[in-house]
Structure 1
Amino acid sequence: MIVLVPAYQPDARLLALVDGLRTAAPEAHLLVVDDGSGPGYAPVFDAARQRGCTVLGHPVNQGKGAALKTGFRFVAEHAPGQEVVCADSDGQHSPDDVLRVAARVRDGADLVLGVRGFTGAVPLRSRFGNALTRALLRLATGRDVRDTQTGLRGYAAELLPWLLTVPGERFEYEVTTLLQAVRRGLPVDQVDIATIYLEGNASSHFRPVLDSARIYAPLLAFLASSFAAFLLDAGALVVLHALVGGLLLPLLGARLLSSCVNFAVNRSLVFAAPGARSVRAAAVRYASLAVVLLAGNYLLLAVLTRLGLGLLPAKVLTEVLLVAASYLGQRRSVYVRRVRARQPTRREPAPVG
């Protein structure tokens, strides 16, 4: 087993984790990545080396995602076939919990999350952030992950090449990994761990505004695309209704125009990823989804307008009601190619130092 710890400006809590793991699992290989902490933190990393850790370094801060990829790349090159457990350096993960996640990976799991219960004295931003991200991830994938922002994760060795291709260099990398794992059809095992926040999580380097924007960018991109398509759809509907009258033909014409634009934008910008379906396959599935949504759109519009609501307000209400169904349908069936997870192979530990 290899324990990978990305660290930016760590303190004695990193060394406490190392000491605890050395005592509980002396056979484990500990790999620490200094993400550009600076000369002032050299004594901490020197102490980690003296305790037997392999320490890699970035000359400047590149972000947690970049540090994790540096560690994954090193393991793939120097210790192929080894599972990796990632843990944070700020004292949030106990050695016992790290080893419980590692045991689940060794038992054959591909991706294991150490999930917190968020009980006790949990900072409000952490409680709210996880609840929001959990809800959005469930909307996007249909999968309920109880702790989307946990840094304690275990990966089978066969996932390392894929992990190096996941986009993102900072905190958004971990959420993007979850999104793509579900799109690949990988099972996500969840292991309960302790909820530990020291000093109100004051040591965290998470930037609430900037890093939250990075994490929520995929969903925000979809909503922006949907809003642009809605404006085009609503405008075309009003114009065609004025020209030809009725409801069905204007609705069909407006939806055909907006769907073509929405499909092109979502495929190239929102859901773009390695392994996505071909344009032809995605277009067929998008068209099938569009027919279902169009039927729902027509029925809702017909009901609302017969109830006396104006055409444009009825259109706005209809689109609001259907946007979640559209996102979920596109995420889960149009732009993704599901693959069967490979059976992990296990090898004897190889030295990494």
Structure 2
Amino acid sequence: MEKCANSEMTELAAKTWLVIPLYNEGKVVYDVLKEVRKTFPNIICVDDGSADNSGQEALKAGAYLATHPINLGQGAALQTGISYVLQQTDAKYLITFDSDGQHRVEDALAMIAAAEADDLGFILGSRFLEGKAETGALKKFILQTVATITRLRTGHQLTDAHNGLRLLRRDAAEKIEIRQNRMAHASELVNQLLKTGLKWKEIPVHIIYTDYSRSKGQSLWNSVNILTELIMK
């Protein structure tokens, strides 16, 4: 039975495309992609105007590559990647995944298993369902405030509205169009998904905060920007 389950999961992983925004991650993206491709062979990276060799490293690791000549923002990169998958492949699932090593393959596989078991149109990852998030106190407060605002505006119970690890079944992906290029895209994407009426759930995921990701020093400021943009809308 376990052997059959593993075989089925391998087939589902082959029907899944990872969409990975890429911006100045040349130092790590090759190693990240080589490891991820052991499980998920189909990856589209969108190089969003990187000033380094990110795109070349992604190609060297075996990913497909789309390129923005200038930096447009993560929302635009995600939309480019989603459009590519829908137009060029017969993927059953799309998973948005980070390029810096913070997301785990096992969490992505758990999303596919949950989608298959419960016939879900989309799944949102949450750092807070199990109470083990390694975020700082201020960042945790900001992100949970964002989730509360999203719950109040949409009527849907969320614990983590801005986690970059998400699964979209093909019919869910076909119903969204991200217009917000920068940090506000995450709220826009969640709102569009919730309006589809498709079955969904959150599942717990673990974010790996490496020395490299911490050294970029963007995480807390991004969270502040998300909250500011959401309140100003």
Tell me the TM-score normalised to structure 2 length.
0.80
The answer (yes or no) to whether the contact 1:93–1:196 under 8 Å persists in 2 is yes
Structure of higher CA gyration radius: 1
The answer (yes or no) to whether the contact 2:19–2:45 under 8 Å persists in 1 is yes
Measure, in 1, the Cα distance between the counterparts of 2:99 and 2:116. 23
The answer (yes or no) to whether the contact 1:97–1:194 under 8 Å persists in 2 is yes
Aligned equivalent of 1:285: none
Q: How many residues align?
A: 212
Partner SS for 1:162: coil
- The one-letter amino acid of 2:33's match is V
Distance 1:15 1:191, change over 3 A: farther
Deviations 1:245-296 (A, max 9, x none): xxxxxxxxxxxxxxxxxxxxxxxxxxxxxxxxxxxxxxxxxxxxxxxxxxxx
Aligned equivalent of 2:189: 177
Aligned equivalent of 1:189: 201
Deviation (angstroms), 1:212: 3.4
Alignment of 1:71 with 2:81, yes or no, is yes
Aligned equivalent of 1:97: 107
- The one-letter amino acid of 1:45's match is G
Higher strand proportion, which one?
Answer: 2
Deviation (angstroms), 1:87: 0.6
Distance 1:9 1:95, change over 3 A: same
Which structure exhibits the higher relative contact order, with contacts defined as CA atoms closer than 8 Å and separated by 6 or more residues? 2
Aligned equivalent of 1:112: 123
The answer (yes or no) to whether the contact 1:75–1:82 under 8 Å persists in 2 is no
Partner SS for 2:174: helix
Matches within 5 A, 1:1-353: 1-23=16-38, 25=39, 28-38=41-51, 41-42=52-53, 44-107=54-117, 108-117=119-128, 119=132, 121-164=134-177, 166-199=178-211, 201-203=214-216, 205=218, 207-208=221-222, 210-218=225-233
Deviation (angstroms), 1:12: 3.7
RMSD: 2.3
Partner SS for 1:90: coil
Distance 1:13 1:126, change over 3 A: farther
Q: Identity, % of aligned pairs?
A: 23
Distance 1:96 1:79, change over 3 A: same
- Structure 1, unmatched stretches of 5+, are 219-353
Distance 1:46 1:201, change over 3 A: same
